[in-house]
Amino acid sequence: MLARDRDAVAEALNLVEDRRAGPREAALELLDRLEREAPFPGAPRIGITGPPGAGKSSLLDALVRHLRPRGERLAIVAVDPSSPKSGGALLGDRIRVRAAAADPGVFLRSMAARDRLGGLSEATRAAVVILGAAFDRVFVETVGVGQSEVEAAALVDTLVYVANPGTGDWLQFMKAGVLEAPDVFAVNKADLGATARTTAGELEGGMGLGEATDTAWSRPVILVSAREGTGIEKLVAAFDAHRQAQEAAGALRERRRRSGESWILDGLERRYGSYGLERCGGREALRARLAEGPAASSFARLTELGREIEDALRKPA
Amino acid sequence: MTSARAPERERPWVFRTYSGHSSAQASNQLYRTNLAKGQTGLSVAFDLPTQTGYDADHPLARGEVGKVGVPIGQIDDMTELFQGLPLDRMNTSMTINATASWLLALYVAVAEQQGADPKLLQGTTQNDIIKEYLSRGTYIFPPGPSMRLISDLVAYSVDAIPKWNPINVCSYHLQEAGATPVQEIAYAMATAVAVLDAVKARPDVPAAAIPRIVGRISFFLNAGIRFVEEVCKVRAMTALWDEIGRERYGVTDETLRRFRYGVQVNSLGLTEAQPENNVIRIVLEALGVTLSKNARCRALQLPAWNEALGLPRPWDQQWSLRIQQILAYETDLLEYQDLFDGSRVVEARTAELQAAARQELQNVLEQGGVVAAVESAYMKQRLVESQSARTQAIESGEQIVVGVNRFTEAEPSPLLAGGQSFLEVDASAEREQIERLRAFRSRRGQAEVTAALQNLKDVLAAGGNVMPPSIRAAHAGVTTGEWADALRALFGEYRAPTGVVPRRVSTASPRTREVQERVKTVSARLGRTLKILIGKPGLDGHSNGAEQIAVKARDVGMEVVYEGIRLTPEEIVQSARDEGVHVIGLSVLSGSHGTLVSDVLERLRRAGLASLPVVVGGIIPEEDAARLRQAGVKRVYTPKDFDLTRIMGEIVDVVAESDPAV
C-alpha cells in the first residue's frame, strides 16, 4: 500500500468491506499496521458534503481537473445511500466524475452506506486510511441528509459543505445544527450570479448562529462554479490553509484522535447496542479510557474493546 | 352535405427507409436501388463515430465504423454517398444531432460541387439534442453550447436553405425510453419551445422571421402498437402545436402553424420471438399515423421485420417499403376526408391527451424549461419510472406481447430457415474506411485545412454562426473528428444525468423477493454485498436497457456501479478492479459486441481478473452469442429476454459459480 500499488489498494478495500470473521481479522491487522506505520499526517483527507443536487460530484470533477495537472495522485470515496427496502444501492458517481475515467492517477471507489440512510458505512473510515497511505489527497463524498455531516466530519481533516444557491437548504441544515461541522463552505453554481451571491451572504451572516468547533479557524465561504471551473483554485487554497492552521495549532493530531474515538464508540454501539457499552461503564467512561490508553491504532482498540464487551456480555449481569 | 371524399386523391407521404452501412459507396448503391423500387425520399443512417464526432481511426471508434450506418469522415465520403443523386431533386432526412451542423455543411458543400442551388435543397437534419440526453446518447457538448449549435443551424437555414427542415424535434426516442403518450407530447413540445425561444432571443434573427421559422420546425414521432391512441396522440399534437404557434409566437398565418411530422414506427417493440409477427405490428403502427388526414405524417419510414435479430437485408427493407406502397396506392385511404372529425370517442381521447400534455408542458416550463429539466434529471427520472412500469407489466403478463409472454408455442419459422436471416457488415469495412481516411489526409491541402480550422475556432469564439465556417472547412478537407475536436476544445464535453435513481422502489413481487434472499445468501458467503458494474462500451448511447437492468439489480439488493455510456474497454477494466465488483454486465446494441467484448475479456486477463465473470446484453445473433460464450462470457441476453427477475437470478448464479468462496 505504501508502495502505492493499485491492485493492492483495490484488494485491501475489498478486504475491509468483508464481514466474514477471517478477513475481518486480517483487515484489522492491516489497518492497525497502516495507522501506525504510515507517516503522519499523510494525505489530506477532505470531506465533500451537501444536499442532493448541490453539485458535489461536479465539484469533485472540477477539483480533479484542477489538481491532476499539478501531479497530485487523488483518491475518491463516494458514498451513496442504500435502499432501506432491498439493501441494494445505485452508485452513480463514476459517471459524474468523468475526469477520473481511465486516469491512472485517480482512484475512485463507490461505497454504499449500508447501515442506514445517509449514514456512513463502517468501512468508509478504513477506506480513508488505506487510500490516505497510497494517494496524495483523499476526498470523501457523502450526501448531506442531516446527521451524516457530523459523521463525515469525523472521517476527514477538512469538511466542505457544498451549498445549492437559492434553495434555502442550508437554512434547514443550520436549524438542525449540522452546519457546525463544516470547516469550509462552497457555494456552487456561482454562474447563477446574484442568487449564488445572496446565498453566500446569507451563509456568512448565519455563521454566528452555529458555534464553530474550532475557534482558531475562521470558516470561509467561497463562491465556486463547478461548471465553469471558477473559484476552484480558491477552494483548494482554503483546504491547504485549513490544514496548515490545524498543523500549526497541533490540532490535526487531536482531531484525528478525537474522531478515532468517536468512530470506535459508534462502531461498538452499532454492534453491541448502548446496553453493551453500559456493561463496560458506558460511553463516557470508555471515551476516557481511550483518551489515556496506549498508542495503539483505532482499529486495534476497536477489536480490543469489542472483545472486552463480548466477555462482559457473556457473564451474567 | 359535405362530401366524404376528398376533392382529389391526396398525394402520399414521402416513403423513406432508414438505411446506410459499411461505406459511402455501399450505401450509395443501396439508395439507388431503393429509389428504383419506388422509395421517394432518402433517410441517411450514420455510423456512431460520425454521430459522435470521431475519425474512423480514433480508439473510441474501434469496432463501430460502418456498423449502424454509413461512415462520413470528410467531403469525399459525402460526394460518394450522393454520386448520381442530384441533391436539388432529393428529399434527404439525416439522422444526425451533435454533429448536425457539420453533416449539413458537408451536404451543402456537395450540393455546391454538383452545381445545385442550396435554396432548392429539401430535407431534414434531426438536430435535436434533448432526446440525445434523455435516451439516444449521441450528444457531445453540454446543453448550453448544444442549444447554441441548434439555433445556429436554424437561424442559418431560414434564408440560406429555406426549404430545409433545420430540426426534427423527436418524440420517437422518448417513447422508446418509456414515455407515456402524455410525456411524449409534452417533452417534444417543450423541446420545440426551447429551440424557438433560443432562436427568438438571437440578435441576428429579426422578429419578422419568427413565423417563417415556426413554419420550418418539424417533428419526428414514434408510432406504437396501440394505434387508436396513436391517432389521438397525433391529433392532440396537431392541436397543441397550433395553439403554441398562435399564443406563444404570435403566428397569424395558419399554414405556418401546421404540425408537420415524419415517423419511424416503433422498432423497440418488435420481437425476436416469432419475428414474422412483426410485419403485422408494423402495418398496424403505420395506420396510427396515416389514418387521420388532418394529422397525417409527411414522411414515413418502416422498420424491417427482423430488426430485433440483426441488420435488415435489402429484401427485408423492400418488404417494408411495399407495405407503404400498398397502403398508399392500393387501399382507398387517400381518397377520403378526415375519418375522425366528429368522432366523439376520438375527440374525447384527443382532448384528454391534449389537456394532460399541456399541463406537463407547463410543469417543465415552470422548472426553467427543457434544458433545466435535463440537468435536474426530472424528465429522465419520469421516463425511467414509466419504462420500469412497462417492463414490469410485460414480465407479470399484465401487458400481453404475442409470442413473447403469451402464445409462445410456435412452428419453426421458414423465414429463419436456410442460413443467415440478416445482413452482416463486411468485417473489412472499418479497415478500408481508415485507409480511405488516411489517404485523404495525405493528399489534401494541409494549409487550407489549418486555416479553415482556425477560422472555425475564431468565428465560434467570437459568438458567430457555426455554419459558414463549417462549410468552408468541409470544402477545405477538414475531417469529422477534427471539426468535433475544435468544438470540444471550446465547449467541453458532457455526461447527462442517468435518471437511474427513481424515487420509489417498486414493491417486490414474490419472485423478486426470492432473488433478494439469494443475493443476501451469496453476499454473506462472499463477505460483502454482491457488487455489479453495468456499463456500455463503445459509442452506442441507447442506455434504456442498461438503466432498467441497473434499477432491477438495485431492487434485488445488489450494489450497482452504473457507469453509463461511451466507455473504453480500458475504463471498464480499471473501474471493475478499483470498485471490487463481483460481476460485469455490458450492454452493446450497435452490433460491435464482437470487438468490444473480446477487448474487455483480454484486458481483464492481463489485469489478473480472468475469473471475474462477464455477462452481455444486446442485439446479438445466436452465432455471435455462441462465439462470445466460447470466449468466456457467462451469459448473453437479447431482446427476447424480457424477464428481468430471471436475468437477476442468473447473474447471482454466475457469481456463485465463479467465486470459490461461494
Tell whether A74 is covered by a domain.
yes
Inter-chain Cβ pairs, chain A and chain B, closer than 8 A: 107
B249 is catalytic: no
B192 by DSSP, 3-state: which?
Answer: helix
B76 phi/psi in degrees, rounded to 5: -65, -35
Residues A26 and A150 in one domain: yes
Q: Show which residues on chain B lie within 8 Å of chain A, measured between beta carbons.
A: 142, 376, 493, 495, 498, 500-501, 505, 508, 516, 519-520, 524, 527-529, 550-551, 553-564, 567-568, 570-571, 574-575, 577-580, 607-608
The pLDDT-based confidence of B215 (bands split at 50, 70, 90) is very high
* B351 burial level (CB within 10 Å; 0-12, 13-18, 19+): middle
| A83 touching B (Cβ < 8 Å) | yes
DSSP 3-state of A307 = helix
Measure CA of the first residue to CA of the last residue in chain B; give whole Å: 80
User: Per the domain annotation, does A1 fall within a domain?
Assistant: no
Q: Where among A221, A249, A277 does a domain terminate?
A: A249
Selecting among B542, B552, B593, B634, the annotated active-site residue is B542
B119 is known as an active-site residue: no
Share of chain A above pLDDT 90, in %: 31
Q: Give just the sign of the alpha carbon dihedral B508, B511, B517, B519.
A: negative
Quick one: A236 and A258 in the same domain? no
**pTM score:** 0.85
Beta-carbon separation of B142 and A227 below 8 A: yes
Average pLDDT over every residue of B177-182: 93
Q: Which residues contact residue B253 at a Cβ distance below 8 angstroms, ignoring those fewer than 6 apart?
A: B211, B215
Q: Rounded to whole angstroms, how far apart are CA atoms B598 and B569?
A: 9
Cα B520 to Cα A17, A21, B180, B534, B656: the distances in Å are 15, 17, 35, 20, 12
Residues A51 and A193 in one domain: yes
Query: Considering only CA atoms, which of B160, B61, B43 is closest in space to residue B101?
Result: B160
Chain-chain contact of A85 with B562 (C-beta, under 8 angstroms): no
Instruction: State the DSSP H helix or E strand holding residue B252, giving kind and residue range, or none if neither.
Output: none
Task: Please check the confidence at residue B1 and state whether its pLDDT lies above 60.
Answer: no
Confidence of residue A152 (pLDDT cuts 50, 70, 90): confident
Q: What average pLDDT does chain A have?
A: 84
Mean pLDDT for the stretch of residues B373-391: 88
What mean pLDDT do residues A43-66 have?
92
Across A125-141, b (16+ Cβ under 10 Å) vs e yields bbbbbbbbbbbbbbbbb
Residue range(s) defining the domain that contains residue A283: 254-314
Q: Would you say residue B186 has pLDDT above 70?
A: yes
Domain ranges, ordered by start, for chain B: 14-333+340-406, 510-658
The upper half-sphere exposure of residue A139, i.e. CA atoms within 13 Å in the direction of its Cβ, equals 30
Nearest to B559 among A13, A89, A104 (CB): A89
Q: What backbone phi and psi angles, to 5 degrees, belong to B165?
A: -90, 105
**Per-residue pLDDT at B502:** 47
What CATH code is assigned to B510-658? 3.40.50.280
Residue with cell 470473521: A21
Are A61 and A12 part of one and the same domain?
yes
Residue B625 · residue B606 · CB < 8 Å: no
Residues A267 and A198 in one domain: no
B430, three cell numbers: 472499418
Whether residue A49 is found in the same domain as residue A194: yes
- For residues B586 and B551, give the distance between their C-alpha atoms in angstroms, rounded to a whole number: 15
The rounded distance, in Å, linking the Cα atoms of B203 and B434 is 42
H or E segment and range at residue B624: helix B622-631
Q: How many CA atoms lie within 13 A of B245 on its CB side?
A: 25
Q: What is the DSSP string of B370-406?
A: HHHHHHTTHHHHHHHHHHHHHHHHHHHTSS--BTTTB
What DSSP character marks residue A191? G
Write out chain B residues lying below 8 Å of A101, CB-based. Answer: 567, 571
Would you call B378 a catalytic residue per the annotation? no
Provide the greatest CA pair distance for chain B: 83
Question: Is B531 known to be catalytic?
Answer: no
- Measured between beta carbons, the chain B residues lying within 8 angstroms of A85 are 505, 508
Interface test with B, best of A7, A79, A91, A164 (most B CBs within 10 A): A91
User: Which range, of A132-141, A295-304, B122-131, B441-450, averages the lowest pLDDT?
Assistant: A295-304
Angstroms from A162 CA to nearest CA on chain B: 17
Q: Reply yes or no on whether the pLDDT at B432 is more than 50.
A: yes
Residue A241 pLDDT greater than 80, yes or no? yes
| B336 annotated active-site | no
Superfamily of domain B14-333+340-406, CATH level 4: Methylmalonyl-CoA mutase (3.20.20.240)
Nearest to B554 among A10, A14, A83 (CB): A83
What 3-state DSSP class applies to A28?
helix
Kindly state whether residues A152 and A10 are assigned to the same domain: yes
Of B528, B556, B577, the CB nearest to A7: B577
* Helix, strand, or coil (residue A224): coil
Using CB atoms, pick whichever of A82, A86, A102 lies closest to residue B570. Answer: A102
| Of B236, B241, B247, residue with least CA distance to B354 | B236
Q: What is the ipTM of this complex?
A: 0.90
Q: Indicate the number of domains in chain A.
A: 2
**Domain ends where: A249, A270, A293?**
A249
Residue among B376, B560, B570 whose CB faces A89 most closely: B560
**What CATH number does residue A112 fall under?**
3.40.50.300
Residues A221 and A274 in one domain: no
**Among A32, A11, A159, A127, CA closest to B576:** A11
pLDDT band for position B271 (cuts 50, 70, 90): very high
pLDDT at A213 over 90: no
Alpha carbons A148 and A154: distance in angstroms, whole number:
10
| Alpha-carbon span A117 to A123, nearest angstrom | 15
pLDDT for B311:
81
Residues A115, A190, single domain; the answer is: yes
Q: ∠B585-B586-B592 over CA atoms, to 5°? A: 160
Same domain, A159 and A218: yes
> Is residue A244 domain-shared with residue A295, that is, in the same domain?
no
Residues A117 and A215 both lie in one domain: yes
* Residue B463 CB coordination number (10 Å): 9
Inter-residue contact B169 to B219 (CB < 8 Å) = yes
